Copies of this chain bind each other. A is one copy, B any other.
């Protein structure tokens, strides 16, 4: 009897590289991760070796039904290359070839990590049943992935969904990207902490900020409200442009739960965008495995 199909899933981020086997029904097995080696531009070998050793170890002697690679962007899914902002050693790194050389099996498919996370949530998590989903990852940065009728939307090179860098406030703060008033300027984890500290809050990290907000500490509450307001502008815009029916919020900051979601729902409702009226806004449910699960799903359905 043939064993059930198993997929190799890889998730490449600026701080860690994760890999696992994922079953055809979305079970994550043999999960392993390594820190992304710090390497300067030109030193592509270091992170490449870490990646190929990791995937070889995760696969072992298993037969692969498919290989899905999720990566931080920008990616070029037609060329099979990635240039993750936070991995300066890699520019146009041929990740599809590297993984293929390391493990063989069917040709790997490449998907943006935010798109993979949204696809994972659509398949197995809080996005189930949505016909027009935007999954948002709120973390050190803000990314997003679009799933329409179950199909991930990549755009011309795979980077669609980049909601953190749409302009929410043309007169707002300068963004690290060089532009002005991007959604990310108020709504990322570091942005919230920076603002809270500048206004006298003395805690250390976003879980503490969330805990303080849950207790009604005014600066913490205001930090989440500011984040929610900018995020809501981005959501109203995306809902108008894509006729969305659901938003799923994941990433580290989303662990704050209702402390973030309540002001977010209020701000989206206040935006008064017709498309925003039917929006369901939910917390992601797959945790840190969403990208791996989505990468496997991408390999399964390509």
A156 partner, pick from B162, B177, B240, B243, beta carbons under 8 A: B243
Mark the stretch among A30-38, A39-47, A165-173 that contacts chain B.
A165-173
| Interface residues of chain A: helix, strand, loop or mixed (majority) | loop
Question: Considering the complex, which residues of chain A in the window 107-162 have a beta carbon less than 8 Å from any beta carbon of chain B?
Answer: 130-132, 144, 146, 148, 153-162
* B273/A240 in contact, CB under 8 A: no
Selected contact of A243 from candidates B148, B158, B242, CB within 8 Å: B158
Which one of A157, A167, A236 has the greatest number of beta carbons of chain B within 10 Å?
A: A167
Chain A 233-252 per-residue mask, 1 if CB under 8 angstroms from chain B, else 0: 10011101111110000000
Q: CB-nearest residue of chain B relative to A236?
A: B167
Chain B residues closer than 8 Å to A179, beta-carbon distance: 271-273
CB atoms of B153 and A240 under 8 A apart: no
How many A residues face the partner with a CB closer than 8 A? 43
- Once A148-B153, A156-B132, A278-B156 are accepted as A-B contacts, the answer to whether A241 and B170 lie under 8 Å apart by CB is no
Which chain B residues lie closer than 8 Å to A240 at the CB level?
Answer: 162-163, 165-166
For the complex, give the distance between the alpha carbons of A108 and B13 in Å.
46
Given the complex of chains A and B, what is the CA–CA distance between A157 and B169 in angstroms?
29
- Report the nearest B residue to A238, measured CB to CB: B241
* Residues of chain B with a CB closer than 8 A to A177's CB: 274
| Partner of A244 from B156, B244, B272 at Cβ < 8 Å | B156
Contact of A148 among B155, B167, B273 (CB under 8 A): B155
Q: A169-B170, A275-B159 are in contact. Are A154 and B243 (CB under 8 A)?
A: yes
| Complex contacts, A156 vs chain B, CB 8 Å | 130-132, 243-245, 278
Beta-carbon contact of A273 and B165 below 8 Å: yes
* With known contacts A171-B171, A178-B272, A153–B236 Cβ distance under 8 A: no
- Expressed in whole angstroms, the minimum distance between the Cβ of A44 and any Cβ of chain B is 22
B237 contacts A167, CB within 8 Å? yes
Q: Mark each residue of chain A from 257 to 282: 1 if its CB lies under 8 Å from any CB of chain B, else 0.
A: 00000000000000111110010000
- Nearest first, the 9 closest Cβ-Cβ pairs linking A and B are A155-B243, A132-B156, A156-B245, A160-B243, A159-B243, A132-B155, A166-B237, A160-B242, A155-B242
